[in-house]
């Protein structure tokens, strides 16, 4: 029944338009837990078993870097184009000063799982993790000093609004605030006992926190008060990111059910679900500008949008505008159309599995184009042909 619903939904989307979250090829099936970009083209994602991936062409290709770590890596943060930090299990902190070509282990002084890292300048940074762990460095990670958090709950996310003022959120509705660069951390009243996973400030007073059971909290007075927003979901929300004062995204999901993406354009008054095209839970979201964003998750999932995730209407071409054969096929699929076109092959869940750059495709009077689909798993797929005049979609079976 689930596959039938997905199939019907995909066919409806193909007939009317498409949501602009596109699956990218990460080259891994490991769980991707954090994503960060240093500019429009250069980004990093980290994952289970020490994997660090880097792109220099806005996600088209991802290259594995040598981290020297085999534990889970939970959070990545860069302070400039070359200098970045990654934290993870067993007190792991690693640093690069050359854009990830080399990563060097730092001494954290703890064996606790470290879950989030944030720097306020080139030298001063904070890491939070399990057991209420908060670490601080004032010399670019050469030394890390434990701070007193006043809690033993897991702390999942840390964010600072200036050199002195910072926040950490975690289990059972925990929100901590410091006004003196971490010397003291004061518990705030969140109004929830749900686990909180991510915090993001849009200015010194306004912040959003997301967590389990669809929890979204907002403050407009630097955390003195937190109000609950209506997310419209009971899924886990694991990451939040805003591109301006009003426009923000929250991602998460329910394991093996759906990859949740929510968007607001009015400061959280309303949150609208977007079509992610994946059933993998999503762990982290990051935008490089108002329109271009990325989210990563289970099983090597990387999604990208170039228009803020908006649903785009497309002109439909008649099915007769393209011809595909043989169908079913085992190895090669021939696609004919008289127009210059880009080909996308999507699986039954709507995920992009193969893309052919724009070109003039062969027709019966020309040399036909053969697309190698031998590496695809057996099952039903969709061929989406985009031309200047519109889009045509046909299904085929790989056997």
pLDDT tens, 99-110?
999 999 999 999
> What is the SS3 assignment for the chain?
CHHHHHHHHHHHHHHHEEECCEEECCCCCCCEEEEEECCCCCEEEEEHHHCEEEECCCCCCCEEECCCCCCCEEEEEECCCCCEEEEEHHHCEEEECCCCCCCEECCCCCCCCEEEEEECCCCCEEEEEHHHCEEEECCCCCCCEEECCCCCCCEEEEEECCCCCEEEEEHHHCEEEECCCCCCCEEECCCCCCCEEEEEECCCCCEEEEEHHHCEEEECCCCCCCEEECCCCCCEEEEEEECCCCCEEEEEEECCCEEEEEEECCCCCCCEEECCCCCCCEEEEEECCCCCEEEEEHHHCEEEECCCCCEEECCECCHHHCEEECCCECCEEEEECCCEEEEEEEECCCCEEEEEEEEECCCCCCCCEEEECCCCCCEEEEEEEEECCEEEEEEEEEC
Mean pLDDT of 368-390: 82
* Cβ neighbourhood burial of 121 (10 Å; 0-12, 13-18, 19+): exposed
Mean pLDDT of 293-315: 86
Do 315-398 and 19-312 have the same topology in CATH?
no
Mean pLDDT of 316-329: 80
**pTM of this prediction?**
0.76
> Minimal CA–CA distance to 158: which of 116, 212, 219?
116
The chain-wide mean pLDDT, for the chain, equals: 89
Residue 31 CA neighbour count, 13 Å, CB half: 15
Please determine, for residue 362, whether its predicted confidence score (pLDDT) is greater than 50.
no
pLDDT tens, 20-41?
789 999 999 999 999 999 999 9
Architecture of the structural domain at 19-312: 7 Propeller (2.130)
9 confidence band (pLDDT: 50, 70, 90):
very low
In contact, 158 and 87? CB cutoff 8 Å: no
What is the fold, at CATH topology level, of the domain defined by 315-398? Immunoglobulin-like (2.60.40)
Question: 281 versus 18: which is more confidently predicted?
Answer: 281
Q: Which residue has the tokens 């949501």?
A: 19
Q: Where are the domains of the chain?
A: 19-312, 315-398
Question: 98 versus 369: which is more confidently predicted?
Answer: 98
pLDDT at position 2, please?
41
d(CA 178, CA 168) in angstroms, rounded, equals: 9
Cβ atoms < 10 Å from Cβ of 42: 18
pLDDT tens, 102-143?
999 999 999 999 999 999 999 999 999 999 999 999 999 999
pLDDT at position 253, please?
94
| Least reliable range by pLDDT among 11-25, 143-157, 284-298, 327-341 | 11-25
379 confidence band (pLDDT: 50, 70, 90):
confident
End-to-end CA gap in the chain? 22
């Amino acid at each position: 029944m689930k596959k039938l619903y997905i199939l019907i939904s995909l066919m409806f989307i193909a007939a009317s338009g498409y949501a602009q979250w596109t699956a990218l090829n990460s080259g891994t099936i490991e769980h991707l837990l954090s994503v960060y970009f240093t500019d429009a083209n250069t980004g990093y994602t980290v994952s289970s078993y020490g994997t660090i991936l880097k792109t220099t062409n806005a996600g088209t290709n991802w290259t594995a870097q040598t981290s020297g770590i085999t534990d889970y890596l939970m959070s990545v943060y860069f302070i400039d184009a070359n200098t970045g930090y990654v934290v993870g299990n067993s007190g792991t902190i690693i640093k690069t000063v050359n854009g990830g070509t080399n990563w060097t282990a730092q001494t954290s002084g703890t064996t606790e799982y470290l879950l989030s890292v944030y720097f306020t300048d080139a030298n001063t940074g904070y890491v939070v993790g399990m057991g209420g762990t908060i670490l601080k460095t004032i010399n670019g990670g050469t030394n890390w000093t434990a701070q007193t958090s006043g809690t033993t709950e897991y702390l999942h996310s840390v964010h600072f609004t200036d050199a002195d003022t910072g926040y950490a959120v975690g289990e059972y509705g925990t929100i901590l605030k410091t006004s003196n660069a971490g010397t003291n951390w004061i518990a705030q009243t969140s109004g929830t006992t749900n686990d909180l996973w991510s915090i993001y400030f849009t200015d010194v007073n306004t912040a959003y926190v997301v967590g389990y059971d669809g929890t979204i909290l907002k403050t407009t007075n630097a955390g003195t008060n937190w109000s609950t927003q209506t997310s419209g979901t009971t899924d886990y929300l694991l990451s939040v990111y805003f591109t301006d004062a009003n426009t923000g995204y929250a991602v998460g999901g329910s394991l093996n059910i759906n990859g949740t993406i929510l968007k607001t354009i009015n400061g959280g008054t309303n949150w609208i679900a977007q079509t992610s095209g994946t059933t993998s839970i999503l762990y982290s979201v990051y935008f490089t500008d108002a329109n271009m964003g990325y989210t990563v998750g289970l099983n090597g999932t990387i999604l990208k949008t170039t228009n803020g995730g908006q649903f785009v209407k497309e002109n439909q071409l008649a099915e007769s505008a393209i011809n595909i054969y043989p169908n079913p096929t085992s190895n090669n699929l021939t696609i004919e159309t008289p127009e210059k076109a880009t080909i996308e092959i999507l699986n039954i869940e709507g995920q992009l599995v193969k893309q052919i750059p724009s070109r003039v495709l062969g027709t019966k009077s020309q040399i036909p184009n053969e697309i190698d689909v031998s590496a695809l798993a057996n099952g039903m797929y969709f061929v989406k042909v985009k031309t200047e005049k519109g889009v045509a979609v046909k299904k085929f079976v790989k056997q």
